[in-house]
Amino acid sequence: MDWKILSTLVVFGLLAGCFSFYVPDTTLADRLMEDGYWEEAMAAYQDALKEDAFNPTIQAKFNAAKGRVAAKYQEQGRAALKERNLMKAIEAFKRALSLEPTSPEHQSALAQALRYKEAQDRLIVGQKMLKGGRLEDAAEAFERALELDPDLKAAQNGLVQLAEKQKSLALPLTGSKQSITLKFQNARTKEVFEVLARSGGINILFDKDMKDDPITIFVKDATFEDALHLILTTQGLFMRRLSTDTLLIIPRTKQKLDQYQDLMIRTFYLSNVK
């Protein structure tokens, strides 16, 4: 064999041997890992794997770094969740889950944070409903918030405020203590109520569907409440308290009874308020 050909084969053999035993340098990545720069180490190991994708040693180091990073985000998320910084917690848990998608711990933590976020949203709705006087809607919102987050103090306080408001609506009417005499023949119902309101020193509002039918009534030396309930009964009406001195008069139909049903506050959550 020609010595030139032999020399060429030897050179190619040596080069092939060098390439076959090439291992990416992970010195920097190892140092970053030791110093606690896990995200930087993870990125460095990932770059090394691009050069040697099937290197089990580098793959193991990469997985270890990734696990450290995921654990860091999990810890940050837990701290944020404890402080009820929900957006920060959700973001941290999402990052942890992106690194370890099959981790039950990350999945559970993210679900909990999302549940607490929904509780906060329901709390805000409840507060708006309470402020607007929509007590039934407020009760539902507060109770749903506590189902999602039983330790949500603001929702517990919301139910307490709601109960106090409902209690105030259950107080006796503020009508005049003086006896009332009413004498009307074929008068309009709203006119009679207006006279009664002035006599009792209260405000009376009417549902938009209430009919102003004629009424004939005569009562003498009656209490305010007796006169009020007599008119309601004879005219097929019922009332709802809007405040201690404001009444809403409504037609007594099934539809209206359902619409304006009295608020019944369940005490399950109230009994747990600290």
Torsion of CA 169, 172, 177, 183, to 10 degrees: 80
Q: What pLDDT does residue 5 have?
A: 54
Exposure string over 229-244, b if 16+ CB within 10 A, otherwise e: eebbeebebbbbbeee
Q: What pLDDT does residue 133 have?
A: 78
CB atoms inside a 10 Å sphere around CB 6: 10
Both structure tokens of 112? 């909990």
Q: What pLDDT does residue 88 have?
A: 96
Both structure tokens of 143? 């109770």
Both structure tokens of 94? 């999402």
Q: What pLDDT does residue 31 have?
A: 92
Alpha-carbon distances, residue 161 vs 12, 127, 202 (angstroms): 86, 10, 24
Alpha-carbon distances, residue 144 vs 81, 126, 195 (angstroms): 19, 9, 43
CA distance 120 to 212: 45
CA distance 61 to 252: 76
**Closest to 70 measured CA to CA, from 43, 38, 110:** 38
User: How do residues 200-230 score in pLDDT, each as one tens digit?
Assistant: 888 899 988 898 999 998 988 888 888 888 9
Compute and round to an integer the Cα radius of gyration of the chain. 38
Q: What pLDDT does residue 17 have?
A: 46
Q: What pLDDT does residue 267 have?
A: 35
What is the end-to-end Cα distance of the chain in Å, rounded?
97
Q: What pLDDT does residue 125 have?
A: 93
Single pTM value for the model: 0.56
Q: Residue 7: CB partners within 8 Å, gap ≥ 6?
A: none
CB atoms inside a 10 Å sphere around CB 176: 14
Domains of the chain and CATH, by start? 3-101 (no CATH), 180-256 (3.55.50.30)
Q: What pLDDT does residue 161 have?
A: 85
The stretches in the chain having pLDDT less than 50 are 1, 9-12, 14-20, 262-274
* Sheet strands (E) in 103-213: 180-188, 203-206
User: How do residues 66-115 score in pLDDT, each as one tens digit?
Assistant: 999 999 999 999 999 999 899 999 999 999 999 999 999 999 999 999 99
Q: What pLDDT does residue 22 have?
A: 62
